[in-house]
Amino acid sequence: MTGLATRWASQFYAMLGDDRAAADELRDASLRSDLARWTTALTAVVARSIEALGLSPTAKGFRCVVLPVKRSEYLGQDVMAFEVAGTGWKFPVAVCELENSIDDDLVAYSLWKVLCIRCALRVVFCYRPEADAAAPLVAHLAGAVVSAMPIAERSALSGETLVVVGSRNESSTFPYGFFQAWKLNPNTGRFERFARQ
């Protein structure tokens, strides 16, 4: 069976391919370094990609409809996904943080936040103007956040964790070259390149 990270990534790229206006908005915001606009556009695409998986998203502009308390944000997470079926308090299937700061510590904080949540998929989006800054950032995140977890706890970590870095100098290959993704290997504590299938 295909993992949730792969299924979600396929929907994410399909959303960008099918919705030209959303893709253009995201690309233009990155080229202009308008990171607030980038976050707003990305939030909508991520939430719609979650809907395409048959899940119910919650985020700014996407009020939750499946929990007893209806909000747009829970636990300080930018985007959450819940199963549609059933009633009452459900635990999230996925959480996403969209960090538009160039401060590595704020990106690390976003990774720490999602790792604190018990769910099947955790995604951190961040942005760097230059694509070659992505790999060092991801290595820093592994060293600063993942290595802080006890080995037994890290290796028992359930679910999949992705870090997705957008960069404006790869905008000519948008969306495929624009977004670089890494997946956490809980056994090694390192992030490995993640290719959508």
pLDDT at 175: 67
Q: Using an 8 Å Cβ cutoff, are 12 and 41 in contact? A: no
Q: Return the higher-pLDDT residue of 187 and 195.
A: 187
pLDDT at 173: 62
Q: What is the mean pLDDT of residues 142-156?
A: 94
pLDDT (tens digit, 9 = 90+) per residue, 48-73?
Answer: 999 999 999 999 999 999 999 999 99
**Nearest-CA neighbor of 31 among 43, 46, 41, 44?**
41
Q: What is the mean pLDDT of residues 137-155?
A: 95
pLDDT at 188: 95
pLDDT at 171: 57
Q: Using an 8 Å Cβ cutoff, are 20 and 175 in contact? A: no
Alpha carbon of 144 to those of 70, 101, 121: distances in Å? 35, 17, 20
pLDDT at 14: 92
62 φ/ψ angles, rounded to the nearest 5 degrees = -135, 80
- Percentage of residues in the chain with pLDDT exceeding 90? 71
pLDDT (tens digit, 9 = 90+) per residue, 19-40?
Answer: 889 888 888 888 888 888 989 9
Listing DSSP states for 89-130 in one string gives ----SEEEEE-----HHHHHHHHHHHHTS-SSEEEEEEE-SS
